[in-house]
Amino acid sequence: MGLQATLERLDAIVQGVAPAVRPDLPFNIVDEARSEDGPAGVRGRTRTCSLVVNAPPVDDLQAGKAALRRRVELDLRVRYDAKQIGTRRELDLMVGRDVNDLIDAIAFTPAGWLASSTGIDSVEIPGPPSTEDVSPDNRGRVAVVLTLPFTVLFHEGS
């Protein structure tokens, strides 16, 4: 249990989501989904994902010191390679459906992160998702990055 177990479980949940739009392009967990040319080993692939810890976990202050419950703010970033997706409309449809599928899998399916095996108590979506075009050196749009923020409450230690 702890942050590492929490991140590993969330990685597995994301990779387990079966995309409704373009199922031939699955979610792939990598370390640098925002890289403008794509992370090594996944260039030319879309739906590359990374979980980014926005700040160190902090004591939740709700369960008492003995409970060691922590709160961590995370971003799930999904990078879509523009070359693999036909039109902007197709991309918008893909992102819109992916947002719903990812939120359902991460926040609304507690069976995926039962506290007894992962230490995760809850997952909340604190705000709306956002998208950002990646256009380095005026080469046009090479990718779009979807950012989905969420907050996880988990138990540290055994």
Domains annotated on the chain, with CATH: 3-155 (3.30.70.1700)
Does this model's pTM top 0.95? My answer is no
H-helix or E-strand containing 7?
helix 3-15
pLDDT digits (tens, 9 = 90+) for 38-71: 445 455 568 999 999 998 888 877 655 656 788 9
- Token pair recorded at residue 119: 């230490």
Q: Is the Cβ–Cβ distance between 41 and 122 less than 8 Å?
A: no
Q: How confident is the model at residue 33 (pLDDT cuts 50, 70, 90)?
A: very low
Q: Token pair of 96, please?
A: 């819109």
**Displacement of CA 62 from its chain's centroid (Å):** 26
Contact at 8 Å (CB) between 6 and 53? no
